[in-house]
Amino acid sequence: MKLQIALDRLTKEECEYTISEAYESVDWIEIGTGVIKEYGMEIVRSFRSKYPEKTIVADMKTCDAGAHEAKQVFEAGADITTVMAFAHDKTITDMQKEASDYGGRVMVDLLGVTSQQRVKELVDLNVDLVSLHFGKDMQQEADMDTGLFSILQDYPELDVAVAGGVKLETLPALLKHNPDTVIVGSAITKSDNPGWVSDQIKGEMDRYERNYAIRSS
């Protein structure tokens, strides 16, 4: 189980400070949409150079012009880019082709998807990585509805990341669904001690995984 740190609504300096503190705990570094809008592909290139051992996720949230945007981020050094599930199928398949050419991956953001139909269509497009996303604005109204995992239950072949207001207190409810990747943003980035928080979250994930392995054996 991987920990992905989401760097968003931060300055470049704040991003770099957070990574310096949380580096040992995180597996994937996500450069958030807002950060990319502020700094462009230069910050993707910078992070690729500074953190060569980490997987770099460029959260482009592409809706159209898939081939162009995918080529941009993969040439800048990203390993994974994101596309919205509501994008046209061709947008998604064009991005997958670019990903294949560059040895990268495409993560489909399921924000707003509430039924299995679109998930089935994505699987038919050979999508293999999705993000179950409880949006920032939605978090203001209610706790994360872990029932959304039900739309994925018929597709165990999918790699599943989960995002949206994840913190130590909400982590146990998510871990019982065995996501492949847990995406954490402000719980780490807004903390006074991002290194300690990321260590605690990663430790909880590792303990759950060990216990699950024992129960399953």
**pLDDT (tens digit per residue) in 1-30:** 999 999 999 999 999 999 999 999 999 999
Homologous superfamily (CATH) for 2-216 = Aldolase class I (3.20.20.70)
Task: Flag whether the pTM goes above 0.85.
Answer: yes
Closest listed residue to residue 201, CA positions, set 20, 8, 22: 22
Closest listed residue to residue 138, CA positions, set 164, 118, 170: 164
The pLDDT-based confidence of 145 (bands split at 50, 70, 90) is: low
**pLDDT (tens digit per residue) in 89-99:** 999 999 999 99
